[in-house]
């Protein structure tokens, strides 16, 4: 059977950084994210007994470094479904891969939903999130709707993601600013394994539950300043850990810092705008919809040749009828 799924990327408000168990992909801490309406992957999977091996086409090309990771994830699902059949997989992202815009999150969420459906497995949302997690941790958060929490858990079943608030709960604007389309040198998987070498990692883990609660409360109360301050502090903490790990990881570019300073300046002049970053140079800004055009203009005059992708909080992974092949 053939199935196609569309899954959003997500941006973490409380980051997943460091693993408690690499094999099961259990995180060192629980995390919270919001799904992004205009950054997504669409994936079609078809099992075909005539195939001698899997065919993986990502963004129109068979020569992608994600191919092995993709077929490994198929193996996990094949085992669960009790089949050995190979599949053809096509996946398209509507944004540049490997540049810190969480393509693995949307990619593995879409792959998990399309593949489990194509094998005929009937799984709950909770089970889907645990399987997506095995492909890429942050992918677990791209399955449920809206604002999502991934409970760190202690084993495969208890490390799952669930929706905290639906997509339409709070229509804030989220601007992903693409300042560079170069593939980053250090992927997040490598970053996770070096994180504990930072002298600040222990302190982070000791304080993280309070931070998780703070972000949950800020969203529940729709207190934009409170949320903004919490996410900026968290992004700076993630990068402080990366910078002080052995070997150190410098994800930012000069333009990343210029955008951070621009946010501070805009706030001094009365505009509510806050930044976050995942493991890459691209700033992601949170603002109110009424201010988004003004902010986009300010960004374009600060940093030339940027592409800005504006999103709203989005639903999670869904099956769609338009197959890619
Ligand atoms: C900085 O989920 O990409 O974006 O499980 O090894 O694939 P793997 O890691 P991944 O890590 C995401 C790191 C982050 C923060 C976050 O999304 O929570």
pLDDT tens digits, one per residue of 141-156: 999 999 999 999 999 9
pLDDT of 97: 60
pLDDT of 184: 65
What are the residue ranges of helices labelled H in the chain? 67-81, 103-118, 125-135, 188-194, 201-220, 224-243, 254-268, 292-302
How many CB atoms neighbour CB 69 within 10 A? Answer: 18
Q: Which of 55, 8, 323 is nearest to 163 (CA)?
A: 8
Q: What is the pLDDT of residues 242-259, one digit of tens each?
A: 999 999 999 999 999 999
Successive 10-residue mean pLDDT values, the chain, 325 residues: 96 97 97 97 97 94 84 97 97 74 87 98 97 97 98 98 98 93 77 96 98 98 98 98 96 96 97 95 96 97 92 98 97
Return the ligand 1 atom nearest residue 25 CA: 5
What's the CA gap between 164 and 159, in Å, rounded? 15
Does the CB atom of residue 102 touch ligand 1 within 6 A? yes
What's the CA gap between 119 and 261, in Å, rounded? 49
| Separation of CA 115 and ligand 1 centre (Å) | 21
**8 — alpha (psi -120 to 50), left (phi > 0) or beta?**
beta
| Separation of CA 70 and ligand 1 centre (Å) | 16
| Separation of CA 220 and ligand 1 centre (Å) | 24
pLDDT of 95: 80
pLDDT of 20: 98
Return the ligand 1 atom nearest residue 279 CA: 1
What's the CA gap between 138 and 10, in Å, rounded? 8
pLDDT of 196: 97
pLDDT of 189: 82
The angle, 0 to 180 degrees and rounded to 10, between the axes of the packed helices 201-220 and 224-243 is 160
Look up the pTM and report it: 0.96
Return the ligand 1 atom nearest residue 192 CA: 6
- Say which residues have a Cβ less than 8 Å from residue 203's Cβ, sequence separation at least 6: none
Return the ligand 1 atom nearest residue 139 CA: 2
């Amino acid at each position: 059977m053939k199935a196609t799924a569309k899954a959003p990327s997500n941006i973490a408000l409380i980051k997943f950084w460091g693993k408690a168990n690499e094999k099961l992909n259990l995180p060192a801490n629980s995390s919270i994210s919001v799904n992004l309406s205009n950054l997504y992957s669409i994936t079609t999977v078809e099992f075909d007994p005539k195939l001698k091996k899997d065919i993986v086409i990502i963004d129109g090309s068979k020569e992608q470094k994600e191919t092995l990771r993709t077929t490994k994830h198929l193996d996990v699902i094949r085992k669960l479904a009790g089949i050995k059949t190979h599949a053809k997989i096509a996946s398209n992202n509507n944004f540049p891969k490997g540049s810190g815009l969480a393509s693995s999150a949307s990619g593995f969420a879409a792959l998990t939903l399309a593949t489990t459906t194509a094998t005929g497995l009937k799984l709950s949302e909770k089970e889907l999130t645990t399987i997506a997690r095995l492909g890429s941790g942050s992918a677990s958060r791209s399955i449920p709707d809206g604002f999502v929490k991934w409970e760190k858990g202690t084993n495969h079943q208890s490390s799952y993601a669930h929706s905290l608030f639906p997509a339409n709960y709070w229509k804030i604007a989220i601007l992903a600013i693409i300042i560079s389309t170069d593939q980053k040198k250090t992927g997040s998987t490598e970053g996770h394994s070096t994180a504990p070498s930072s002298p600040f990692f222990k302190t982070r883990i000791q304080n993280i539950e309070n931070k998780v609660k703070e972000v949950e409360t800020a969203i529940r109360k729709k207190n934009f300043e409170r949320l903004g301050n919490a996410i900026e502090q968290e992004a700076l903490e993630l990068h402080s850990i990366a910078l002080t790990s052995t070997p150190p990881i410098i994800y930012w570019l000069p333009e990343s810092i210029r955008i951070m300073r621009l946010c501070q300046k805009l706030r001094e002049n009365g505009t509510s705008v806050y930044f976050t970053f995942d493991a890459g140079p691209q700033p992601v800004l949170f603002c109110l919809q009424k201010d988004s055009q003004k902010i986009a203009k300010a960004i374009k005059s600060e940093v030339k040749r940027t592409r800005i992708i504006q999103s709203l909080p989005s639903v999670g992974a869904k099956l769609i009828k338009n197959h890619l092949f």
